[in-house]
Amino acid sequence: MQIDPSTRREIGVFDSGVGGFTVLRELQALLPMSRLRYLADTAYAPYGGRGPDEIRARSFAITEHLISRGAELIVVACNTATAHAIEALRARWPTLPFVGTEPGIKPAVAATRNGRIGLLATPATAVSERLRALIGRHVGDREVIVQGCPGVVDHIEAGDLGSPALRTLVEQHCASLRAAGVDTALLGCTHYPLIEPLWQAALGADVRLLRIETAVARRAVDLWRPGSEAPALHIETSGDPDALRSWIERVLGWQAPDVRRWQVTM
């Protein structure tokens, strides 16, 4: 893969859509002098309802693009893409460091008081072999109630972070966790912290919510070799740049970021 000579070393970050911005914010705070490139595959969001082969194909195409722009570290800021694609990505680019995003099962096991843990995830993550293996390695005699949450990401992608329809959906997805009496719950999608108050309200104040984006960013920091590059942030999308720019301004409060269109023929 030829790297454009006009580019510098970058950290590439991608997600099916806007959820990875929760990881990107942490990276900006921890690596303020680095070059970051974020790609939102919003034309194909959400990944949670897509099959493993399609998720892997999109992840491969995005990684190819990020490498072409100078990425020397890739952060897969998407639980679903991590579950279905990260091993294939590492096999394809064995010398390129990848940081995945997975539910923090091990911290949840340490945090639970009653041994019952809830996991809120996209439908694709909820049924993935990688998640089953992760639970099998760390849970022991604890119980994990996995709840797939179809529809939630669609609301967040649309910038709807608090409508009655979304609140009802969140409450429905949390019902099985409440019934099981969990005392700890994992937000198993990078989109989900954007509506953390809704999850907390639906689960109850006594349930401890755990999120993962800070740990993901810190892992990236551990792998990154800072250079002399001028700091920069590039944002790209496979969807509508104006729509993404509006979402960023409205939800994140960033002022008129430059968002460019990325296109690939699959």
48 annotated as ligand-binding: yes
pLDDT band at 8 (very low <50, low <70, confident <90, very high): confident
Residue 55 confidence (pLDDT) above 80:
yes
82 annotated as ligand-binding: no
Q: What is the mean pLDDT of residues 201-219?
A: 96
Active site residues: 78, 189
Q: What is the pLDDT of residues 154-164, one digit of tens each?
A: 999 999 999 99
44 annotated as ligand-binding: no
| CA pair distance 8, 69, nearest whole angstrom | 8
Q: In order of start, what are the domains of the chain with their CATH numbers? A: 10-101+214-261 (3.40.50.1860), 105-211 (3.40.50.1860)
Least confident of 120-124, 180-184, 228-232, 236-240: 228-232
Burial class for 110, CB neighbours closer than 10 Å (0-12, 13-18, 19+): exposed
Q: What is the mean pLDDT of residues 55-74?
A: 97
| CA pair distance 186, 224, nearest whole angstrom | 27
Q: What is the pLDDT of residues 163-191, one digit of tens each?
A: 999 999 999 999 999 999 999 999 999 99
Q: What is the DSSP letter of 127?
A: T
159 annotated as ligand-binding: no
- The vertex-41 CA angle with 28 and 190, nearest 5°, equals 50
